[in-house]
Amino acid sequence: MSLLRVENATRAFGSLVAVNDVSLSVAPGKLQAVIGPNGAGKTTFFNLISGFFPPTSGKIYFDGKDVTGLAPHQRVQMGMARTFQITEIFPELTVRQNLRIPVEVAAGLRLRPWISRRMRDEIDARVVELMLQGNLEDKANRLVGELSHGDQRATEIMMALALKPRLLLLDEPTAGMGDQETYDITRLIRKLHREQSLAIVLIEHDMRVIFHLADRIMVLTEGRVLADGTPDEIAADERVQAAYLGESH
Amino acid sequence: MKGPGQRSTNALVVLILATMPFWMQYVGGYTELATQVLVMALAAMSLNFLLGFTGTLSFGHAAYFGLGGYGVAMIIKYIAPSTPLGILVGVAVGTIAAMVIGALIIKLRGVYFAMVTIAFGQVFFFIAFRWNSVTGGDDGLTNWKRQALDLGFTRVELLDHALTFYYFVLLIFLLAAACMALILRSPFGRTLLAIRENERKARFLGIPVEHHLWLSFVISCAFCSLAGTLYALLNNFIDPRALYWGQSGNFVIMAVLGGMRSFWGPLVGAAIFVVLQDFISSRTENWMSFVGLFFVLIVLFFPRGVLGMIRRRSSQ
């Protein structure tokens, strides 16, 4: 059974149809890439999945349940987490504080006006574990706003991971990064995907990253699905080459 | 979040407040003025719970301040001569009003939120102003006095003992401040920081933002109405000006003056405001223009407030 199923999702802004009749199915533990030229509707598609706004028509199912009308925080509770194309963090808080907030939310503590010492130790241990995974342990007490772009990205991904999701939505995680940072983030994503058998939907421009990571690739152009298949199928697809690969490479 | 530096700051604050009535006279003050500093500080700190630690500006906190004041006054005047009962009812009235109004306005943001809090505040102002037979109208609610505390084994006189009343207010102030500090250090408090820092991100970390904002608003207003009950008890009097939006503005000035990103900032701001007001108003009618000038200078040169400035100096 698929973990995420999008059925004929359409989203219009006035007369502009940003996402037009797109369907997608992601199995548990799979890494699905979404590619396409600028303005193809990739981020709008992400916003539909994560609940930033509802589709004009169509349905979204997560874990077999209809989540089309649910608010973002309700989808998070069900196990869906996302990052943003332009990094969204708490810049004036430290790395430790940034991570502690989602860890406490995931532990069901968000309304607690106090916590026991034992619980606090557990939270602290989980925060440290996440910092180690994201190679952030030596920056624990630095303000996130002062970190490099790559470390901010790593913090954002670990914040999403702190929510213990089953599906992670990553919107251009390597956007605006140099080669070394792109390499580091790619390795981090692959590690998370392999070790935790986490399902990931990834929007990406960098073809090396895509073909390195993806189990399946969906190509969007002008809001529509142009092709959907394995990396080999996509690489061999003439329409994709004409519409997308050909023009940018 | 709280290092040893914070602990020594807290100890210093408690020490200063506990001895304030004894040195207040040397800086031209008196015991009632010290009590007024505490009352206004509690109101400004409660506002700052919402402004500084949740990132939401309310311009209508005087409504809850005044409701607390009218609550305690009416209980003592009309129902039962009991100070604790009056305080409880005053806080309950303010809190319930905040629950209802909060639910109506919590979807609004920024300047729209601030404007609507003013509007709701003015509703209570006009009720108090017009309903002469119950509220005393423009003249306020007089002919009632704060009552002695009956602790069972002893009675504590509050009325003619300004010093005793000061320590009664100080005890409540410290308990309220401790409550707010504990909440801010808790997981719930951190969700408020998250909302202040980046509301959209908070939403996508699984926090139902409206619900948490509402809770923060209600907590903030509850402590503000507590301050209002103490204000009425201090003066043995309450009038519609306590509900007026100018009073809300004073709370905002106190918080910003002292430093809204620091926990004790509003206390410093309230102390400066209240003492300046007392000092200048005994010399000129236009005291507000001097306070205003001082405020403008602080905001221009020390945007993080007086305490923020001291912090920055000491950390350099």
Say yes or no: B194 contacts chain A, CB-CB below 8 A. yes
User: Greatest CA separation found in chain A?
Assistant: 61
Decide which of A164, A190, A213 is a domain's last residue: A164
A174 & A160 share domain: no
What pLDDT score was predicted for residue A206? 82
Q: What angle do CA B219, B223, B226 make, to 5 degrees?
A: 140
Chain A residues within 8 A of B219 when measuring between CB atoms: none
Q: Residue A182 belongs to what H/E stretch?
A: helix A179-196
Radius of gyration of chain B (CA): 19
Decide which of A164, A189, A210 is a domain's last residue: A164
Chain segment A141-191, per-residue pLDDT in tens: 999 999 999 999 999 999 999 999 999 999 999 888 888 989 989 999 999
Residue-level length of chain B? 316
> Does residue A222 belong to any structural domain of this protein?
yes
- Token pair for residue A183? 């390499």
Chain segment A36-92, per-residue pLDDT in tens: 888 899 999 999 999 999 999 999 999 999 999 999 999 999 999 999 999 999 999
Q: For chain A, what is the domain count?
A: 2
> Searching chain B, which residue's CA lies closest to the CA of residue A156?
B201
CATH at residue A60: 3.40.50.300
Q: Between chains, do A100 and B186 touch, taking CB under 8 Å as contact?
A: no
What pLDDT score was predicted for residue B293? 87
Chain B residues within 8 A of A163 when measuring between CB atoms: 205-206
> Does residue B289 belong to any structural domain of this protein?
no
Cα separation values, B31 from A87, B18, B34, B37, B271, Å: 53, 12, 5, 10, 13
Nearest CB to B205 within list A112, A114, A163: A163
Chain A residues within 8 A of B1 when measuring between CB atoms: 97
Q: Residue A81 belongs to what H/E stretch?
A: strand A80-82
Q: How far apart are CA B94 and CA A75, in angstroms?
A: 35
Chain B residues within 8 A of A91 when measuring between CB atoms: 197-198
Q: Mean pLDDT, chain A, as a whole number?
A: 92
pLDDT interval class at B2 (50, 70, 90) = very low
Q: Mean pLDDT, chain B, as a whole number?
A: 91
Q: Between chains, do B204 and A105 touch, taking CB under 8 Å as contact?
A: no
A66 & A181 share domain: yes
pLDDT at B260 over 70: yes
Q: For chain B, what is the domain count?
A: 1
> Does residue B104 belong to any structural domain of this protein?
yes
> Does residue A178 belong to any structural domain of this protein?
yes
A114 & A154 share domain: yes
Range name among A124-133, A188-197, B220-229, B292-301 with the lowest pLDDT average: B292-301
Interface probe with A: pick from B49, B54, B193, B204, most Cβ of A within 10 Å: B204
Say yes or no: B3 contacts chain A, CB-CB below 8 A. no
pLDDT at A33 over 90: yes
At position A24, the amino acid (one-letter code) is: L
pLDDT interval class at A246 (50, 70, 90) = low
Give every CB contact of residue B292 below 8 A, 6+ residues apart in sequence: none
A183 & A63 share domain: yes
What pLDDT score was predicted for residue A249? 45
Mean pLDDT value of segment B244-254: 93
Higher-confidence position of B38 and B297:
B38
Q: Between chains, do A50 and B205 touch, taking CB under 8 Å as contact?
A: no
Q: Between chains, do B203 and A73 touch, taking CB under 8 Å as contact?
A: yes
Cα separation values, B240 from A228, B96, B287, Å: 69, 19, 21
Chain segment B148-191, per-residue pLDDT in tens: 888 878 888 888 889 999 999 999 999 999 999 999 999 999 99
Chain B residues within 8 A of A101 when measuring between CB atoms: 190-191, 193-194, 202, 205
> Does residue A84 belong to any structural domain of this protein?
no
pLDDT at B102 over 70: yes
What is the side-by-side order of every strand in the sheet holding A216-221?
A: A80-82, A167-171, A199-203, A31-35, A216-221, A224-229
pLDDT at B57 over 60: yes
Say yes or no: B315 contacts chain A, CB-CB below 8 A. no
> Does residue B285 belong to any structural domain of this protein?
no
Decide which of A164, A186, A217 is a domain's last residue: A164
Q: How far apart are CA A228 and CA B26, in angstroms?
A: 81
CA distance B180 to chain A (A): 10
> Does residue B293 belong to any structural domain of this protein?
no
Nearest CB to B207 within list A50, A110, A113: A110
pLDDT at A139 over 90: yes
Q: Buried (b) or exposed (e) across B157-175, using 16+ Cβ within 10 A?
A: ebeeeeebbbbbbbebbbe
Radius of gyration of chain A (CA): 18
Which B-chain residues 160-189 have CB contacts (< 8 A) with chain A?
A: 182-183, 186-189
Q: Residue A121 belongs to what H/E stretch?
A: helix A117-133
Q: Between chains, do A90 and B197 touch, taking CB under 8 Å as contact?
A: yes
What is the CB neighbour count within 10 angstroms for residue A134? 24
pLDDT interval class at A244 (50, 70, 90) = low
Q: Residue A170 belongs to what H/E stretch?
A: strand A167-171
pLDDT interval class at B1 (50, 70, 90) = very low
pLDDT interval class at B5 (50, 70, 90) = low
What pLDDT score was predicted for residue B299? 82
What pLDDT score was predicted for residue A240? 83
* A51 close to A2: Cβ distance less than 8 angstroms: no
> Does residue A114 belong to any structural domain of this protein?
yes
Give every CB contact of residue A158 below 8 A, 6+ residues apart in sequence: A99, A130, A131, A133, A134, A136
**What range does the domain containing B57 cover?**
31-244
**What range does the domain containing A176 cover?**
1-79+167-249
> Does residue A226 belong to any structural domain of this protein?
yes
Could you tell me which of B11, B243, B262, B245 has the C-alpha nearest to residue B135?
Answer: B243
> Searching chain A, which residue's CA lies closest to the CA of residue B201?
A88
Q: Between chains, do A112 and B187 touch, taking CB under 8 Å as contact?
A: yes
Provide the H-helix boundaries in chain B.
Answer: 4-23, 31-51, 61-74, 83-105, 110-130, 132-135, 162-185, 187-197, 199-204, 209-235, 245-258, 265-281, 287-301, 305-315
Give every CB contact of residue B20 below 8 A, 6+ residues apart in sequence: B34, B37, B166
What pLDDT score was predicted for residue A245? 54
CA distance A95 to chain B (A): 13
> Does residue B50 belong to any structural domain of this protein?
yes
Give percent of chain B with pLDDT exceeding 70.
97
> Does residue A199 belong to any structural domain of this protein?
yes
What pLDDT score was predicted for residue B4? 55
A67 & A128 share domain: no
Q: ipTM for the complex?
A: 0.91
Nearest CB to A163 within list B1, B187, B206: B206
Q: Residue A12 belongs to what H/E stretch?
A: strand A4-13
Nearest CB to A101 within list B182, B205, B209: B205
What pLDDT score was predicted for residue B263? 95
